[in-house]
Amino acid sequence: MTTACPFWLAERATEDSHLVSYSHTSIVGFPGAAVVTAVRPTYRRYRIAIRPAPDLVRLPPRFRVKVEKHRLIGLVLKELVRYRGDLPVILSRPCVYGVFSRPVGGLAPKEELCVGCLRCTVQHPEVVQIYPNPERERLGDSYLKPAYVDTLLYEARTGHVPVRGAGYRGPFGGAGWDGMWTDMSEIVRPTRDGIHGREFISTAVDIGEKPPQLVFDERGEPVGTPPKVITIQVPFLFDYPPRSARPRLLLEILARAAQEIETLVMVPVDLVVRFDLAGSHVVPVVEKETWRWLPRLSWSPRMIALAGWNRERVAELERRFPESIPCARVPMDSDVLDLVRQGARVLHLTADYHGMQGGSFVMDLIRRAHQRLVEAGLREEVTLIGSGGIVMAEHVPKAIICGLDAVALDTALWVALQARFAGECRDPETAPVSFPRLEPAWGVQRLKNLAASWRDQLLEVLGAMGLREVRRLRGELGRCMFQAELEREAFAEVAGYGADA
Amino acid sequence: MLTRRGSEQSIIRKHEEALHQGYHRWPTLDFGLPPAMGDERWPAELILATWLQAETGRPPVNGLEYRVGRSGGGFDALDFRFLPPEQQLSESVPVDTSIPLNRRPGERPVEIPIPWYGGGMSFGSVSEQIMLARAKAAKEWRTFTSTGEGGYPESLVPYRDHVITQIATGMFGVREETIQWAPIIEFKYAQGAKPGLGGHLLGDKATVAVARMRESVPWVSLFSPFPFHSVYSVEDHKKHIDWVRTVNPEALVSVKVSTPTDIDMVAVGSYYAGAHIIHIDGGYGGTGAAPEIAKKNIAMPIELALPRVHRFLEQEGIRDEVVIMASGGVRTAYDIAKAIALGADGCVLGTTELVALGCTRCGNCERGRGCPFGLTTTDPELSQLVDPDWGAERLSRLYASFQAQLRDILRRLGLRSVRELRGRVDLLVYRKPGDSDERGNRIGSGQAR
Ligand code: SF4
Ligand code: SF4
pLDDT in 10s for each residue of chain A, 501 residues: 433 333 333 333 333 444 433 333 333 333 333 344 455 667 778 999 999 999 999 999 999 999 999 999 999 999 999 998 888 899 898 999 999 987 777 788 999 999 999 999 999 999 999 999 999 988 999 999 999 999 999 999 999 999 988 889 999 999 999 999 999 887 765 554 444 545 688 999 999 998 888 889 999 988 888 889 999 999 999 999 998 888 999 999 999 999 999 999 999 999 999 999 999 999 999 999 999 999 999 999 999 999 999 999 999 999 999 999 999 999 999 999 999 999 999 999 999 999 999 999 999 999 999 999 999 999 999 999 999 999 999 999 999 999 999 999 999 999 999 999 999 999 998 998 999 999 999 999 999 999 999 999 999 899 888 888 999 999 999 999 999 999 999 999 999 998 555
Closest C-alpha to ligand 1, atom 6: A120
Q: What's the start-to-end Cα distance of chain A, in Å?
A: 48
CA distance A296 to A334: 30
Mutation test of ligand 1: which of A97, A112, A128 has the most ligand atoms closer than 8 Å to its C-beta? A97
Contact with chain B for residue A487, Cβ under 8 A: yes
How far is A492 from chain B, CA to nearest CA, in Å? 9
CA distance A43 to A19: 7
Contact A162 B291 (CB under 8 A): yes
Q: What is the mean pLDDT of residues B345-352?
A: 97
Per CATH, the number for B99-406 is 3.20.20.70
Question: Is B349:B331 a contact under the CB 8 Å cutoff?
Answer: no
Residues 366-395 of B with CB under 8 A from A: 366-369, 371-373, 376, 382
pLDDT of residue A34: 39
Q: What is the mean pLDDT of residues B153-165?
A: 96
Cis check for the bond before A103: say yes or no (omega within 30 of 0).
Answer: yes
CA distance A18 to A202: 5
Q: Which residue of B has its CA nearest to A65?
A: B36
How many CB atoms lie under 10 A from the CB of residue B320? 12
What letter represents residue A104's amino acid? Answer: V
Alpha helices in A42-127 (DSSP H): 69-82, 87-91, 119-123
Mutate to test the interface with A, among B304, B308, B373, B383 (most CBs of A within 10 A): B304
Closest C-alpha to ligand 2, atom 3: B359
Can you give the length of chain A in residues?
A: 501
Sign of CA dihedral B110, B113, B119, B120: negative
Q: Domain residues of chain B, as ranges?
A: 99-406
Partners of A166 on chain B (C-beta within 8 Å) are 286-287, 351, 359, 361-363, 365
Question: Is A125:B19 a contact under the CB 8 Å cutoff?
Answer: no
Contact with chain A for residue B34, Cβ under 8 A: yes
Closest residue to B431, CB basis, from A83, A92, A496 = A496
pLDDT of residue B209: 85
CA distance B149 to B141: 23
Percent of chain B with pLDDT over 70: 95
CA distance B418 to B341: 9
A99 in contact with ligand 1, CB cutoff 6 A: yes
How many CB atoms lie under 10 A from the CB of residue B449? 12
Partners of B34 on chain A (C-beta within 8 Å) are 118, 121-122, 125, 129-130
Residue B435 DSSP class = -
Beta strands in B225-311 (DSSP E): 252-257, 277-281, 290-291
pLDDT tens sequence across B46-90: 999 999 999 999 999 999 999 999 999 999 999 999 999 999 999
pLDDT tens sequence across B273-324: 999 999 999 989 888 788 889 889 999 999 999 999 999 999 999 999 999 9
CA distance B449 to B444: 12
For residue A339, what are the CA distances in angstroms to A310, A324, A371, B144?
A: 10, 18, 15, 63
pLDDT of residue A43: 76
- From the CA of B376, give the closest atom in ligand 2: 7
pLDDT of residue B326: 98
Q: Which residues of A306-337 are buried (b: 16+ CB within 10 A; e: fewer)?
A: bbebeeebbeebeeebeebbbbbbbebbbebe
CA distance B74 to B283: 12
CA distance A139 to A491: 37
Confidence band, pLDDT 50/70/90 cuts, at residue B438: low
pLDDT of residue B351: 96
Question: Is B148:B286 a contact under the CB 8 Å cutoff?
Answer: no
Partners of B289 on chain A (C-beta within 8 Å) are 163-165
Among B115, B188, B117, B118, smallest CA distance to B150 is for B188
pLDDT of residue B2: 37
Closest residue to A189, CB basis, from B25, B226, B296 = B226
Q: What is the mean pLDDT of chain B?
A: 91
pLDDT of residue B440: 59
Torsions phi, psi for B438 (to 5 deg): -70, -15
CA distance B38 to B421: 31
Partners of A63 on chain B (C-beta within 8 Å) are 36
Q: Which residues of B99-132 are buried (b: 16+ CB within 10 A; e: fewer)?
A: bbbbbbeeeeebebebbbbbbbbbbbbbbbbbbb
pLDDT of residue A198: 52
pLDDT of residue B208: 87
pLDDT of residue A21: 37
A118 in contact with ligand 1, CB cutoff 6 A: yes
ipTM of the complex: 0.92
pTM: 0.92
How far is A275 from chain B, CA to nearest CA, in Å? 38
**If DSSP codes are grouped into helix, strand and coil, which group holds residue B8?**
helix
| Predicted confidence (pLDDT) at residue B37 exceeds the cutoff of 70 | yes
CA distance B47 to B66: 8
Partners of A97 on chain B (C-beta within 8 Å) are 368, 372
